[in-house]
Amino acid sequence: APAIVRGQNLNSQLQFAGIGTDGKGFSDIKLIASHDKVKCVAFCDVDLSRTAKIKPLAPEAPVYQDYKKMLDELGDKIDAVSVSTPDHTHAIISLDAMQRGKHVYCQKPLTRTVWEARQMRLQAKKSGVITRMGNQIHSHSAYRTAVKAIQDGIIGKVTAVHSWVGTTGHGRSGLLDKPAKGEAIPKSLDWNLWISVAPMRPYGGNRVYHPFTWRDWQDFGSGAIGDFGCHLLDPVYSALNITGDPLSVRSEHTGMNDEVWPAQETIKYIIPGTQYTASRSLPITWYDGGRRPSNGIAKLLPGQSLPGGGSIFVGQNGNMILPHYSQPFVNIEGVKIEPVESLDHYHGWVDGCLSGKQPSDGFEYGGHLTEAVQLGNVAAHFPGETLEFDGIALKITNNSDANKYLTRDYRTGFEIASI
Ligand SMILES: NC(=O)C1=CN([C@@H]2O[C@H](COP(=O)(O)OP(=O)(O)OC[C@H]3O[C@@H](n4cnc5c(N)ncnc54)[C@H](OP(=O)(O)O)[C@@H]3O)[C@@H](O)[C@H]2O)C=CC1
Ligand SMILES: O=C1CO[C@H](CO)[C@@H](O)[C@@H]1O
């Protein structure tokens, strides 16, 4: 039976398997497993040398290299999985797990492409499983305080948002193009499974594509907006209750080739307005790689300063500045914001799996946010051009060449069927 059905009787334990066991996967699994009703029943990582740290958590749990084999072999012994792998494999793994009735905790950005994010939303609804995106700061006091303050009307209706992060789109691997020749694949690593949906390329050596440096490369990662958009834009989406698709998106950057993302970028979104915005549409501007909003926009009081990353909510009665992630403040003399408490993002998902109650940032919410984030990456291919987006049709309406970037070509054997 699917986990959701069994879940109604699951008053004692959630049988959990962690996919991606090092890097962020290590902390995801540990924090999920720290819930007293979680039992780790399996671990999976394409690189067996990167499973050593997690094994002591459940020494009896089998370790797999291929998530599919794990799901096939363990079947109903698994109720829920975490997916903490590089961005390009989030969708193929999470969709498969949801189709088998597993609850899924998947890292941010939810997917590498806009189309994949839409499939995740559709599948989560169809399977009726409990989902959560791994943007844990969503549950942190700073972001929750900001959401409440905006909804309480501390700066009045919002007229614009500016969000920025210092991170650059490339530079982690030190390369702008594929290395001329490949290197020997370490024995512990299944490179075919690591490449997954992307076109095959030779193993590049340590820290060329993996671990971590895949963020630079268009085939695998999503640049600075992909790495941080689902964090920084999360309180924006939550506070303003944005549930519609962007109406348009425009990127300007310092240049890119066909392999890596731009070093510095500014992306301007026009989003449908909500009950918390002053107009029927809202401009959201994203800056990265050292770019940030001007002092003229921030209008700070003496003694205030802009953080290294965060958001400015421009309101009818003043601005709220939300550092990533510490408490928000306003540029209105004498006005202080009372912090609200943090929640446990990981345990919130586990509790949801056990009770059947969907937490606030499931794949419907995370899918919407990721669609916007990845639309920014579509626009990067057409710098200086405003791309108009029809979210219902999932189509760029004024540039037919742009539509191919909403999705990707899947490698044979790693296709994703539309839901
Ligand atoms: N929410 C947050 O604050 C953070 C979120 N993240 C997100 O977490 C995800 C992972 O990032 P990061 O930990 O830096 O990446 P890593 O490159 O370190 O990958 C994480 C682990 O997943 C393994 N892995 C890779 N592909 C697969 C696969 N197909 N099946 C099973 N295991 C696999 C890796 O093995 P190998 O070493 O062989 O690649 C590695 O052990 C990303 O989506 C990232 O955006 C990351 C950091 C913080
Ligand atoms: O919050 C985070 C900290 O930095 C990491 C590396 O850039 C991000 O991937 C992550 O989301």
Q: Give the contacts of 310 (CB within 8 A, at least 6 positions apart).
A: 163, 164, 232, 321, 322, 323, 324
Percent of the chain predicted with pLDDT > 90 = 97
Q: How far is the CA of 417 from the centre of ligand 2 (A)?
A: 29
Q: What is the mean pLDDT of residues 50-60?
A: 97
Question: What 8-state DSSP symbol labels residue 400?
Answer: G
Structure confidence at residue 398 (pLDDT): 98
Closest ligand 2 atom to residue 167 Cα is 7
140 lines ligand 2 (CB under 6 A): no
CATH fold of 3-137+346-360: Rossmann fold (3.40.50)
From 106, 220, 227, the mutation candidate for ligand 2 (largest count of ligand atoms within 8 A of CB) is 227
* Nearest CA-CA partner of 17 in 28, 7, 8, 9: 28
| Nearest ligand to residue 17 Cα | 1
- For residue 2, pLDDT beyond 60: no
212 lines ligand 1 (CB under 6 A): yes
Mean pLDDT over the full length of the chain:
96
Q: How far is the CA of 136 from the centre of ligand 2 (A)?
A: 11
Q: What is the mean pLDDT of residues 197-217?
A: 97
pLDDT band at 173 (very low <50, low <70, confident <90, very high): very high
Q: How far is the CA of 219 from the centre of ligand 1 (A)?
A: 15
Structure confidence at residue 12 (pLDDT): 77
Q: How far is the CA of 26 from the centre of ligand 1 (A)?
A: 9
Structure confidence at residue 45 (pLDDT): 98
Joined tokens for residue 71: 């799901």
* Nearest CA-CA partner of 114 in 311, 413, 387: 387
210 lines ligand 1 (CB under 6 A): yes
Q: How far are the Cα atoms of 116, 140, 299, 311, 320 from residue 146, in angstroms, in the given order?
A: 29, 10, 18, 10, 8
Q: What is the mean pLDDT of residues 109-116?
A: 98
What values do phi and psi take at 247, rounded to 5?
-85, -35
Structure confidence at residue 287 (pLDDT): 98
Structure confidence at residue 11 (pLDDT): 54
With a threshold of 0.90, tell me whether the complex ipTM lies above it.
yes
Closest ligand 2 atom to residue 212 Cα is 6
Report d(CA 206, CA 185) in Å as an integer.
Answer: 10
222 lines ligand 1 (CB under 6 A): no
Q: How far is the CA of 305 from the centre of ligand 1 (A)?
A: 34
More confidently predicted of 52 and 7: 52
Q: Give the contacts of 392 (CB within 8 A, at least 6 positions apart).
A: 245
Structure confidence at residue 9 (pLDDT): 45
From 70, 85, 136, 210, the mutation candidate for ligand 1 (largest count of ligand atoms within 8 A of CB) is 85
- State pLDDT tens for residues 7-32: 444 457 999 999 999 999 999 999 99
- State pLDDT tens for residues 288-327: 999 999 999 999 999 999 999 999 999 999 999 999 989 9
